[in-house]
Amino acid sequence: MLDAVATTAFIHAFEPGTDSARKPLLLLHGTGGNEHDLLPLGRMVAPGAALLSPRGQVLEGTMPRFFRRLAEGVFDAADLRRRTHELADFIGDARRRYDLAAPIAVGFSNGANIAASLLLLRPEVLAGAALLRAMSPFKEPPQADLAGKRVLMLSGAQDPIIPATDAARLAATLTGNGATVEHRILPAGHGLSQADIGLLSAWLDQA
């Protein structure tokens, strides 16, 4: 059953879980995506999990995003912080509305970047995060207590958008703040590959 509504601050889709052993997933789309994009991925990698999928509230032309950027890979730091707190507040509202445990974020590209920002600014709202094609959202990352948080980072060795050094810097930041980070670099570009699906699925099975 799909519930696509705008009764909280974010337009979002919600699918209730059918397997209580599964943690809910917070699905965060990439630039130009919407709340429907990652639902098939969520169903595939975590069958029976509740799926909460908001649409980013920033428009770049007609393309939804989760925060403003000034150029590719150059982020509006104040907007990023503001939008991160708004998304964290939405997650709290949605948890109360749908009676959900803290979700695991599964974010792709811009969605992975705001998931990383959630971890660093509002770690209490997530149980963990899978960051698919993420880069470091902050030039000077805040300190956070990430003890007990599992993070999977999947990067593409041929990704033309995310510099390898930047993904490595994010992995180091998260590890330095106490998260248990598994960072895999796949023979892939910016798009997801079959290997991403397999690794993500196996990692979520351990959650």
User: Which residue numbers are catalytic?
Assistant: 109, 159, 190
If one asks whether residue 62 binds ligand MLT (CB under 6 A), the answer comes out as no
Closest C-alpha to 137, from 181, 107, 160 = 107
If one asks whether residue 191 binds ligand MLT (CB under 6 A), the answer comes out as no
Q: Cα-flanking dihedrals φ and ψ of residue 200, to 5°? A: -65, -45
Binding mask 78-117 for ligand MLT (x = CB under 6 A): -------------------------------xx--x----
In the complex, least distance from residue 38 CB atom to ligand MLT, rounded to whole angstroms: 14
17, 24, 30, 56: which one contacts ligand MLT (CB under 6 A)?
30
Which residue's CB is nearer to ligand MLT, number 49 or number 114?
114
Which of these segments, 5-13, 46-54, 65-73, 93-101, binds ligand MLT (CB under 6 A)?
Answer: 65-73
In the complex, least distance from residue 183 CB atom to ligand MLT, rounded to whole angstroms: 17
If one asks whether residue 177 binds ligand MLT (CB under 6 A), the answer comes out as no
**Which residues are at the interface with ligand MLT (CB under 6 A)?**
30-31, 69, 72-73, 109-110, 113, 161
